[in-house]
Structure 1
Amino acid sequence: MPTIRARALTLRRGGMPVLQDLSLELGPGLHALVGPNGAGKSTLLRALAGVLPPASGAVEIDGHDLWREPVAARRRLGYLPESPELFPYLTARELLRTANAVRGAAPEAGEELFGRWVRPAALDLRIGSLSAGQRRKLALVAATCHEPSVLLLDEPDNALDAAARADLLELLARWTDEGRLVVVSTHRPEALGERTRRLVVADHTVRAG
């Protein structure tokens, strides 16, 4: 069963505490991180993904310490940052195959989804020529095509049109039905459905909403 455990986690930004002495345990299902801008939603996701080292405390992914067992922990993770850095000179196919090689996934993983979500010919276009919405779709596919049990998605619907947002909701529902753990930072939690657990980030902590 996929789990995230944070113990006595303190996160700082520019030397100032963003979240302080946070303990949190999440299991399978769809969890929405909500709260005002600057409250620490993105900072928390970065820490849970192993991108931001905590000032103190620990994070476990499926029972594996994120910093002591990084390979085992991160193999189970899929992380989409709010502003992912993509390589504009690569084609979409090259990016996906590189990501798959790093994560041990099948070389062609994600190509069918991206081709269906955009169009098959877009796989061989350079990323720099794609629209903002197409790049967002590519980043989401690249972050999740190794079928992780834990998904951390920071504003995944940014730059997506209405049709793509509907496709994203279908993906979130499928992942939830498969028993995965999905955490989404969003300003529109109502769009995620009634099965979503809300987690409010405010006042240096996280509470159930």
Structure 2
Amino acid sequence: MTSSAITAEGLRKRYGDVQAVDGVSFEVEAGEFYGILGPNGAGKTTTLEIVEGLREPDEGTARLLGELSWPRNTALLRRIGVQLQASAFFEKLTAREQIRTFASFYDVSDERADAMLESVGLTDKADVQDDKLSGGQAQRLSIACALVHDPELVFLDEPTTGLDPQARRNLWDLLRRINSEGRTVVLTTHYMDEAETLCDRVAVMDNGKILRVGPPRELISDLGVDSLEDVFLELTGREYRE
């Protein structure tokens, strides 16, 4: 890893009396699997939306692949893939129709779209409407749509929330493969085991601030504790609640 895929500096975002993001700075190296870990309400999603260029920061800047992400930078759209927390599918389309529609936005062929569907294990569900897919299948389709144009940098916002344990593990395998193909992956999660299993480094976040960044095992070792839950307790003085 020799270059930064993301550089965020001094990001702030306020909604009324709530400081959702409070001076967040971090850097993600090219090819890294980077996690932003914190409980619900920590500011993870807002941080990701600012970095992706979906939301304007009150202060600070974010650069993706060397380019400012805000004001909205259309030059970046082909180079990044975004899987939102709420899957944004078109109504009454099958899985095949969904991914082919996303592919058409980038002038990507139907053949490439169908291959992407196969790569996430959904070929046998190609003719099923998205509202008839299981939670895990819908998440895999959402990720496939985010990858169909072969982006260098992929953002995943809480991709396994609400999935049963087996579906989560299946999705973890897919995410590892996405990263092993050379893509930079940024994941937000409130699951400690997910962060520890998948991420090269994690940023522990709470109340809009990043408290500590490092490889999960290194954070645990440096603080002389037994788990990431203990790391959070050490940093915040309170127990972690998913």
TM-score range, shorter chain: 0.7 to 0.9
Distance (Å, rounded) in 2 between the aligned partners of 1:10 and 1:17:
8
SS in 1 for 2:111: coil
Distance (Å, rounded) in 1 between the aligned partners of 2:40 and 2:74:
32
Q: 1:129 to 1:88 in 2, by over 3 A?
A: farther
The answer to whether residue 9 in structure 2 is matched with residue 7 in structure 1 is: yes
Distance (Å, rounded) in 2 between the aligned partners of 1:145 and 1:51:
20
Residue in structure 1 matching 2:157, options 154, 157, 165: 154
SS in 2 for 1:193: helix
SS in 2 for 1:89: coil
Distance (Å, rounded) in 1 between the aligned partners of 2:103 and 2:200:
29
Q: 1:155 to 1:204 in 2, by over 3 A?
A: closer
Q: 1:195 to 1:85 in 2, by over 3 A?
A: closer
Q: Which runs of 5+ in 2 are unaligned?
A: 215-242
Q: 2:122·2:137 contact (CA, 8 Å) conserved in 1?
A: no
Q: 1:14 to 1:75 in 2, by over 3 A?
A: farther
Deviation, 1:16, is 2.6
Residue in structure 1 matching 2:181, options 178, 182, 186: 178
What does 1:38-117 correspond to in 2, within 5 Å?
A: 38-68=41-71, 70-115=73-118, 117=120
Distance (Å, rounded) in 1 between the aligned partners of 2:202 and 2:75:
28
Query: What residue number does 2:217 align with?
Result: none
Q: 2:33·2:199 contact (CA, 8 Å) conserved in 1?
A: yes
Query: What residue number does 2:25 align with?
Result: 23
Distance (Å, rounded) in 1 between the aligned partners of 2:126 and 2:143:
14
Deviation, 1:39, is 0.8
Q: Which runs of 5+ in 1 are unaligned?
A: none
Letter in 2 for 1:202: D
Q: 1:136 to 1:177 in 2, by over 3 A?
A: closer
Deviation, 1:103, is 2.5
Out of 187-196 and 23-32, give the one that drifted further: 187-196
Distance (Å, rounded) in 1 between the aligned partners of 2:4 and 2:174:
18
TM-score by length of 2: 0.75
Q: 1:19·1:205 contact (CA, 8 Å) conserved in 2?
A: yes
Deviation, 1:49, is 1.7
Distance (Å, rounded) in 2 between the aligned partners of 1:63 and 1:71:
14
Q: 2:80·2:152 contact (CA, 8 Å) conserved in 1?
A: yes
Deviation, 1:139, is 0.9
Out of 123-132 and 196-205, give the one that drifted further: 123-132
Indicate the structure (1 or 2) with the bigger Cα radius of gyration: 2
TM-score by length of 1: 0.86
Q: 2:80·2:151 contact (CA, 8 Å) conserved in 1?
A: yes
The answer to whether residue 134 in structure 2 is matched with residue 134 in structure 1 is: no
Query: What residue number does 1:208 align with?
Result: 213
Query: What residue number does 1:196 align with?
Result: 200
Q: 2:79·2:152 contact (CA, 8 Å) conserved in 1?
A: yes
Task: Tell me the percent identity.
Answer: 32
Q: 1:133 to 1:195 in 2, by over 3 A?
A: closer
Distance (Å, rounded) in 2 between the aligned partners of 1:78 and 1:47:
14
Structure scoring higher RCO (CA < 8 A, sep ≥ 6) equals: 1
Deviation, 1:13, is 3.3
